[in-house]
Structure 1
Amino acid sequence: MSCLLTLSAHVLSAHAQCSCPAHSQIQLVQSGGSRGLRVSSGLSFSAAQVFTECELFPEEFSLVATFKLQPLRQKRNEWVLSLLEGGPEGGPEGRLLLGLRVSRDQLHFLYQQQGTGRRRRVTFREVSLDDARWHTLSLAVTGHYFTLTVDCGPPLEISQSRPFPSTLTTRGAHFYVGRGAPRRGLFSGLLRQLVLLPGSDASLRLCPSSEPSVSVLSVPTALKGPVQMQGEAYPYEAEVQVTGGPTPVCTSLEQGQLWFNTALKALSLCDGNLWSPLLHSKQRLDYVENYQDLYTNSETFDVEVFTIPNEGLFLATANRDSRSGSGIYKWILGSFQKYQNISTHEARAWKHFTISAKHYLVVANSAALQPERSALYRWSPARRRFVQHQSIETHLALDWEAFHIHNHSFLVVANHRRAQDSDHNIYSVIYRWNPLTKRLEVFQKLRTVGAYDWEFFSVQQHHFLVVANTFDGRTTSVSSTIFIWSQGHFQHFQDILTQGAVDWEAFSFEGRYFLAVANSQRVSDRGPSDYSINSTVYELNPLTLTFQRFQDILTHSAVDWEFFTVGDERFLVVGNSHDGSSYSLNSVIYRWQGYEGFVPVHILPTLGCRDWEHFSTTDGSFLVYSSATSTLSKVFRLKTY
């Protein structure tokens, strides 16, 4: 018996024979790098076109579907496929013989029970298929067992008291794609693949796959190659990306798509490689407003904002208290909401990075435990959580920096001092990723002095690392060092005298390259500490190839600089943390004004400010700061005109 239903062989041919206009039935839509069909009112064809040698539905079969569906309302059901008695040629549609439908976080398979005529339903719960992402599912039916595999993940099996019927006749029946009963449960998403395979578990043919969400068993030709616009075949709709955050992917698959960035009010066109600007509304910063009070597990030393494609925007907080750990927050409906908690030990910093499209977070633990260790976490797409990947020996780690050079991935840790002897003159370590073992391995050790922060930057073909050296055991007046990549490792490039340096910020514009240092305090064994001192912006001199003092800015135990842009304007915000008597101070936003350098334009009251991060979403452009003296951090929105 040969009974094979494929979307390419039957649905498209049925569409071609339909007497109604083509555009009323099917639209070809490109979304997220893959093409699918939008079926506006459902398509139908006789079961006799499929079951040419028999009229009985197979007892054992797999149903494979690839689709993309937006989130559904509660109690909303949408049909992927149904088999109904009767149909267009044989009169009104009758009872449902078999069907597959989707509801919020659930998948339902329905069929007529043998001998009784009663409808039975098999429901797979907590299966999120309506999340605006492509998914490929394989439903295998064998006797009493119904097994669902989604995106080549772990199979879900349900056992029924009665087996699937062996005498389900398809005589006079019709298949309907994208709907169930007339005008009910129309499928609003995109269909890419629909295959009925008798006598086999199709997941064995689909998996493993490099792209499990769009695994291919039988995809119509029209959905594979370049779009053909000849004749009345398939109206083609280029998806318009509308975002306010990270730049969408632009490849040959997205060529011709438009991207509208709501935050920047800019319209761009994908040329197959880059987004080319078409229209751009130049924005200017008007004022800053308090947007969200973010309560954290404990005092927060650092925040890291990052995006995971198809998942969203996240924020990681490095929290002081080891008992409550550190938090991961997700941007949901316009604000950060708690998403995951991770065990940390007096965390001082997080760093997000990617290797081969996989996402990682590394934490700098500063607790004086034996052994002293920090941890690397990997994003698990299956669990949609970060899971520990590797433990790394560190010494009161205060910062991590990630970077790539010549197809190699590196991490460097700022080891502040050894716990056993309180020695600040120790090595900080550069690790290189081993793609075979998928582990970080020691690559190079660099002598540092109470290291607090690392910053990686590039100037044309040259690559640099600069360390913020803070304290040598006696004084904070120590040199911080710039290293240059040469002959396969980092070598000394330049020393800059700093005063308790705790942060470097590298930025460039108009062919000019800058470094801003946050000097926290002037401390020595010969007098009182001074917190109100200059922090300095340095500029690279292209003639001497050294960084030279460009501008001094009075700060109050500065702990962080953050460079950001709004339209064509450039800004620096400094985190002022302490003036010797109070932690309640004003942090300041400075705007670039050419010959004048950076001038103060906005005053932001902060409490124990420790870190600033700038980010953008469809809701606008934002700044978030962490408090090292309170469990309350804040998110500010940048209002523009």
Structure 2
Amino acid sequence: LDLLTRALPRPGQAPPPQIVQSKGSRGLRLAGATATALSFPASQIFTNCDHFPAEFSLVATFKIPRLRQKRNEYIFSVLEEGSDLLLLGLRLSENRLHFLFIHPAAGGRSRLSFKDVRLDDNRWHTVILAVTGPFATLTIDCGVSLDRQVRPFPESLNTRGSRVYIGSRRRWRGRFSGLLRQLVLLPGSDATPRLCPTSDPGVAELVVPPVLKSTPLQPDQPGPLYPYEAEVRVTLGNRPPCSGSEQGQLWFDVQRKVLFICDGFTWMTLLHNQERLDYVEDYQDLYTNSETFDIEVFSIKSEGLFMAAANRDAHPGSGIYKWTDGSFHLFQNISTREARAWKHFSIDDKDFLVVANSREVEPELSVIYRWSRQRRRFVRHQTLETHSALDWEAFRIHNHSFLVVANHRQDSNHNIHSVIYRWNPNTKLFEVNQTLSTSGAYDWEFFSIGPYHFLVVANTFDGRTTIINSRIYIWMNGCFQTFQDIPTVGATDWEWFQIDGRFFLAVANSQMVPDRGPSVYSINSTVYELNTLTQTFIRFQDILTHSAVDWEFFTVGGDKFLVVGNSHDGVSYSLNSVIYRWQGYEGFVPVHSLPTFGCKDFEHFNTDGRSFLVYSSATSRLSKVFKLKTY
């Protein structure tokens, strides 16, 4: 018998009590309602017999503030209509719970008290009181039961002409000041086995009023509109614990200006102040094994953040670095042959690294390495024949995994095939899937727009000139087909990104090598935008660069940035690489200059709540990590 639902006012009657959400559960605050509003005639539940059952269970779920000494509060009571005679009631006091009832045969009132029940302040508790003859059992939050042997409960407690009051004894004094979520009378049965055990014993549920389980504010629904509030506690300072008891509570990180909410397991970001890039700080000097042509930053689950450096020298090879205590440290050396690029990818929760080896030895082999969880190292998985390979790209289409290699040249011939490989889930190896004609291929970039998948290659040199077309391919009918040719000048990198629903490709043009005359290094690199009407990429912005070798797109807060790696101006390798900020109609505007030496690659990464850029040098062992300072 759901006593709480029975007592709630019907539409048009007294104002309903307030719903309060606390620690992830909702309850009714009864203190604001009139005593008579939350009551009903006992005859509504005792329809066939006026006698209160001799054996029964009472189940109540409530949350109480700290009770003052000598203060009593009633969870419910049954009183005669025409007098103040208490037939029975359930009452709380400090660390005690009392069950009161009148005993007609004895001609007086009996009180069954449980001492030291230890009901924590401001926490949900579910109390089960089971009465059978001379025995009474109290179970709190499905814990150890407290047993009492008392005067037998009367077998003929007549409730005719009485009224049930919820949260009071029909007086202002003794009113229940907490939140009530559940109040159930179960005749003839012990309710404990029905509720226990449970994963959340504080709010163990037998029958909860529907209004406490549905969306609290539904103005269009019939019935009374319940006033609603959520009880919130905001914690400041260091990260507090987050578990089931803290669910729904807030924590404000003053230093980072971020508001978090506890979901019962972890702190989830609720609101955060948009960070703005202030300046760039020199953070770490990273001396690699030899000159570094490429860097790849990646994460391995349960292991952390790593960086792979593609180093020129075969011995000791290329270095894998791990982010430890706020900086990169050498983790593993892998033997490579003038490595030009690394690419990290995952298949079926397994992590792989593939290296592009470019040294011309027979046979020319690039290698795929697999992360061994037992050895906690990368181990050789598969070798693939390549030709002066400069780049790998990994991608997935329709749950199939692919790799594509940029074969730069074979002997002196730059007009050769680059190869797309497809993962065979049976053999656990990559197999040749398709070949594409390229001219001095330097870089591949994969991207998707809606249901369409694209590959774009940076063609650098055709044996005579760098003024050639690079090509965009589209996936159709199970293979890549030509989509668009774009004129480029010694293209070394493509960067795909999108801003506010607009789609862009940026190409890094490295040098102009004409049929005759000297090479030119200070030339324009170009940002292209997809025109949805013509379904082609069109020129959006030209940016003067100096033998550009890499573009990297990243965001800080709500701002979007591009950083270009300038490597050579025809005289010096000591140049400024430049960070550009997106400014809408103005396009990309230069905002920061970074001194670099022989810059070859930029990578952006976030860790420990901070943003970083790392660049590699193709003319020095020194690579640098920059910290992006925000405000």
TM-score with structure 1 setting the length: 0.60
> 8 Å contact 1:264–1:567 — kept in the other structure?
no
In structure 2, the partner of 1:532 is 522
- 1:468-502 Cα offsets, whole Å, 9 max, x none, are 00000000001000000111111100000000000
The residue type equivalent to 1:521 in the other structure is Q
Alpha-carbon distance change, 225 to 264 in structure 1, aligned in 2, over 3 angstroms:
farther
Cα drift, residue 265 of structure 1: 5.3
Partner of residue 489, structure 1: 479
Aligned to 1:440: 430
The 5 A counterparts of 1:435-584 are 435-584=425-574
Distance 1:281 1:394, change over 3 A: same
The 1:450/1:228 distance shift into structure 2, 3 A limit, reads: farther
Q: Which residue of 1 aligns with 2:5?
A: none
2:203 partner letter: Q
Percent same amino acid among aligned pairs? 71
Which secondary structure does the structure 2 equivalent of 1:527 belong to? coil
3-state SS, counterpart of residue 585 of structure 2: helix
For 1:592, the equivalent position in structure 2 comes to: 582
Q: Work out the number of aligned pairs and report it.
A: 408
8 Å contact 1:334–1:619 — kept in the other structure?
no
Counterpart AA for 1:599: V
Match of 2:273 in 1: 281
- Kindly indicate whether the alpha-carbon contact (under 8 Å) linking 1:353 and 1:360 is maintained by their aligned counterparts in 2: yes
Counterpart among 364, 374, 378 of residue 366 in structure 2? 374
Q: 1:225 to 1:258 in 2, by over 3 A?
A: farther
Compared with structure 1, are the counterparts of its residues 444 and 330 closer, same or farther at alpha carbon in structure 2 (3 Å cutoff)? Answer: same
| Equivalent in 322, 330, 343 of residue 314 of structure 2 | 322
1:230 to 194, 203, 211: 203
Matched, 1:639 2:612: no
**1-structure distance, mates of 2:454, 2:513:** 28
C-alpha distance in 1 between matches for 2:556 and 2:332: 31
Q: Name the CA shift for 1:292/1:485 in 2 (closer, same or farther; >3 Å).
A: same
Instruction: Give the Cα separation in 1 of the matches to 2:605 and 2:432.
Output: 32
Distance 1:426 1:275, change over 3 A: farther
Matched residues in 2 for 1:312 and 1:431: separation? 28
CA distance in structure 2 between the partners assigned to 1:243 and 1:297 by the alignment: 40
- Partner residue of 2:414 out of 407, 424, 438: 424
Q: How does 1:255-266 map to 2 (within 5 A)?
A: 266=258
| CA 1:313–1:546: 2 relative to 1, 3 Å | same
Q: Which amino acid aligns with 1:491?
A: Q
| Paired residue type of 1:356 | D
Q: Is the 8 A contact 1:398 1:415 kept in 2?
A: yes
After TM superposition, the structure 1 = structure 2 runs for residues 42-81 of structure 1, keeping only pairs within 5 Å, are none
Query: In the alignment, what sits opposite 1:364?
Result: 356
Structure 2 SS opposite 1:595: helix
CA positional deviation for 1:460: 1.0
One-letter amino acid of the structure 1 residue matched with residue 467 of structure 2: S
Q: Which amino acid aligns with 2:572?
A: S
Alignment partner of 1:624 out of 601, 610, 614: 614
Match of 1:296 in 2: 288
Residue 402 in structure 1 maps to residue 394 in structure 2: yes
Residues 449 and 619 (structure 1 numbering): CA distance in 2 closer, same or farther, change over 3 Å? same
Name the CA distance, whole Å, in 1 between partners of 2:254 and 2:366.
39
Closer, same or farther: CA 349–231 of 1 in aligned 2, 3 Å: same
Tell me the amino acid that sits aligned with residue 519 of structure 1.
N
User: One-letter code of the match for 1:431?
Assistant: Y
1:602 match: secondary structure: strand
Seen in structure 2, the aligned counterparts of structure 1 residues 493 and 581 have a Cα distance that, compared at 3 Å, is same
Is the Cα contact below 8 Å between 2:198 and 2:204 reproduced in 1?
Answer: no
Moved more, 277-286 or 262-271: 262-271
Structure-1 residue corresponding to 2:329: 337
1:346 shift after superposition: 0.2
Q: TM-score, normalised on structure 2?
A: 0.61
Superposition pairs for residues 169-180 of structure 1, below 5 Å? Answer: none
Where does the alignment leave 5 or more consecutive residues of structure 1 unmatched?
1-18, 24-221, 233-239, 245-254
Given residue 345 of structure 1, which amino acid in structure 2 is its aligned partner? R
Indicate the residue corresponding to 1:346 in structure 2: 338
The secondary structure found in structure 2 opposite 1:310 is coil
Residues 142-291 of structure 1 aligned to structure 2 (within 5 Å): 227=200, 229-230=202-203, 266-267=258-259, 278-291=270-283
Match of 2:303 among 308, 311, 318: 311
Could you say what secondary structure the match of 2:570 adopts? coil
Matches of 1:354 and 1:368, distance apart in 2 = 29
Letter matched to residue 288 of structure 2: T
Q: 1:298 corresponds to which letter in structure 2?
A: S
The 2-side partners of 1:435 and 1:292 are apart by 41
1:631–1:227 distance in 2 versus 1, CA, 3 Å: farther
Shift of 1:230: 3.1
- Are residue 387 (structure 1) and residue 373 (structure 2) matched? no
* Structure 2: tracts of 5 or more residues without a match: 1-115, 121-194, 206-234, 240-246
Instruction: Give the greater-gyration-radius structure (CA).
Output: 2
Write the distance in 2 (CA, Å) between the matches of 1:620 and 1:505. 23
Q: How big is each residue's C-alpha offset from its partner over 1:305-343, in whole Å with a ceiling of 9 and x where there is no partner? A: 000111000000000111220000000000000000000
Mapped partners of 2:597, 2:379: distance in 1? 33
Give the distance between the partners of 1:489 and 1:341, measured in 2 at CA: 37
Mapped contact 1:243–1:262 kept (Cα < 8 A):
no
Task: Name the CA distance, whole Å, in 1 between partners of 2:250 and 2:335.
Answer: 42
When residues 544 and 227 of structure 1 are mapped into structure 2, their CA distance, relative to the original with a 3 A threshold, is: farther
Distance 1:243 1:365 in 2: 47
2: CA distance between counterparts of 1:318 and 1:594?
A: 36
Shift of 1:270: 8.9
1: distance between equivalents of 2:252 and 2:416? 50
**CA contact under 8 A between 1:371 and 1:393: conserved in structure 2?**
yes
SS at match of 1:522: coil
Contact 1:572 1:589 in 2 (8 A): yes
CA contact (8 A) 1:576 1:587 kept: yes
Distance in 1, matches of 2:385 and 2:452, equals: 30
Relative to structure 1, the CA distance from residue 615 to residue 263 in structure 2 (aligned partners, 3 Å threshold; closer, same or farther) is farther
Q: Which residue of 2 aligns with 1:190?
A: none
Cα drift, residue 269 of structure 1: 6.0
- Between the aligned partners of 1:633 and 1:479, the Cα distance in structure 2 is 32
What's the offset of the Cα at 1:525? 2.9
Give, in whole Å, the separation in 1 of the partners of 2:337 and 2:582.
39
